[in-house]
Structure formats: structure tokens, C-alpha cells
């Protein structure tokens, strides 16, 4: 059965836009994963830690026939190939060339997966919500539409997010 899902991408090290594009290409190369749409790119400060390097972020809509349990390795393999090192506990809140998060996947049961879907903090993060809203404003997340989640964000977080509309992620094909 083909299912729809959303993946958030972020990068704040190296050539950030190229890192996002490499992530799109890497995910698109996975058998039975089709990238259907990409949001525009949004620039935001780091979330949850201090850094001089801001993030470029985007959200992808994809479809797949892959099993839930396969997404742990699909994401980890893509991140690793693009230079992400998750071997240190502090790596979760540190600068990185790429961050790939599965936000939501239709009919998710999570059997055999370490991932939490929907992503447990997606509704709190402008860098996920604003690009996701561009693709699917009425999508339900945490009991609210994406638009309602955006309205609930602190003004300072919204004000610190800047669209980089000149940057475009190329979809395969």
C-alpha cells in the first residue's frame, strides 16, 4: 500500500543549500520512496541550543511502500552519507551538516521502529511548521491544523524565521 509522509530537513554546517539538495537526492534514490513536493527554504536560528550558524530548513512530501521499521535505517543511512555523526550523546543539540526527521507517515504503526511519529516536537518548531504549512496548511498535527499550530508559536520564533525564496530544491525526475 502506498502511503504519504512528510520529512523535515535542516542544515547549518558547510554549504547548507547543497546539503539540503543532497538529502533530497539521497532520499529520492531509496527504492520505493518518491519525493512528491518540496517547500521553499526557510532560514532559522538553532532550536534548543546556541550557535552562530543559522539553519536552512525545508519539508518534503513523499510517498512510499516501505515498512515503518525501515525508516530508522533509511534516515540514519542518508544522514551518515551526508556527514552527520550521531555517535556522541550531545550530537542531538549541536551544529550539523544535515538533520533529517520523519514528521509524519500515513498509517504509521511504528512496529520495529525507534522513531516517534508524528514527531513529538514538530508542533513546537517554526522550522518544521512554516514549510509544512506551505505544503499542507490544514494537515492535522497534535489535534490542530498546521495553521493553528503556527498561530500558537511565540512571536519571537516566527519573527526570527526568514524565507529564502531564491533557493529552490530540485525534485528528481
CATH architecture for segment(s) 3-164: 2-Layer Sandwich (3.30)
Q: What pLDDT sits at residue 90?
A: 63
Q: What pLDDT sits at residue 21?
A: 98
Please determine, for residue 77, whether its predicted confidence score (pLDDT) is greater than 90: yes
Please determine, for residue 169, whether its predicted confidence score (pLDDT) is greater than 80: yes
> Comparing C-alpha atoms, which of 170, 169, 172, 160 is closest to residue 41?
169
Please determine, for residue 88, whether its predicted confidence score (pLDDT) is greater than 80: no
**3-state SS assignment for residue 173:** coil
The model's pTM = 0.94
Q: How far apart are CA 66 and CA 63, in angstroms?
A: 9
113-167 per-position pLDDT tens digit: 788 898 888 999 999 999 999 999 888 988 999 999 999 999 999 999 999 999 9
Per-residue cell: 144 = 490542530
**3-state SS assignment for residue 93:** helix
Residue 6 C-beta-side C-alpha neighbours within 13 Å: 24
Strand partners, 10: 57, 99
- Spell out the alpha helix ranges (H) of the chain: 16-28, 70-81, 126-136, 146-151, 155-159
Please determine, for residue 42, whether its predicted confidence score (pLDDT) is greater than 70: yes
Q: What pLDDT sits at residue 87?
A: 72
> Comparing C-alpha atoms, which of 108, 69, 94 is closest to residue 10?
94
Q: What pLDDT sits at residue 33?
A: 96
13-30 per-position pLDDT tens digit: 999 999 999 999 999 999
- Binning pLDDT at 50, 70 and 90, where does residue 86 land? confident
Q: How far apart are CA 51 and CA 66, in angstroms?
A: 36
Domain residue ranges in the chain:
3-164
> Comparing C-alpha atoms, which of 167, 152, 149 is closest to residue 20?
167
**3-state SS assignment for residue 85:** coil
Q: What pLDDT sits at residue 41?
A: 98
Contacts of 106 (CB under 8 A, 6+ apart): 3, 4, 5
Q: What pLDDT sits at residue 89?
A: 60
- Binning pLDDT at 50, 70 and 90, where does residue 111 land? confident
Q: How far apart are CA 156 and CA 5, in angstroms?
A: 29
- Binning pLDDT at 50, 70 and 90, where does residue 112 land? confident
**3-state SS assignment for residue 111:** coil
Amino acid at each position: 500500500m502506498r502511503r504519504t509522509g512528510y520529512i523535515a530537513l535542516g542544515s547549518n554546517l558547510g554549504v547548507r543549500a547543497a546539503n539540503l539538495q543532497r538529502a533530497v537526492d539521497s532520499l529520492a534514490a531509496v527504492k520505493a520512496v518518491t519525493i512528491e513536493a518540496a517547500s521553499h527554504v526557510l532560514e532559522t536560528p538553532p532550536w534548543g541550543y546556541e550557535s552562530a550558524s543559522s539553519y536552512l530548513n525545508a519539508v518534503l512530501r513523499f510517498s512510499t511502500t516501505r515498512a515503518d521499521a525501515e525508516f530508522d535505517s533509511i534516515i540514519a543511512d542518508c544522514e551518515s552519507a551526508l556527514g552527520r555523526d550521531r555517535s556522541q550523546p550531545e550530537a542531538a543539540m549541536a551544529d550539523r551538516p544535515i538533520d533529517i526527521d520523519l514528521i509524519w507517515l500515513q498509517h504509521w504503526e511504528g512496529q520495529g521502529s525507534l522513531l516517534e511519529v508524528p514527531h513529538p516536537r514538530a508542533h513546537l518548531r517554526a522550522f518544521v511548521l512554516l514549510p509544512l504549512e506551505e505544503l499542507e496548511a490544514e494537515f492535522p498535527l497534535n489535534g490542530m491544523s498546521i495553521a493553528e499550530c503556527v498561530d500558537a508559536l511565540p512571536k519571537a520564533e516566527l519573527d526570527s524565521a526568514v524565507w529564502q525564496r531564491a533557493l529552490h530544491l530540485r525534485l528528481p525526475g
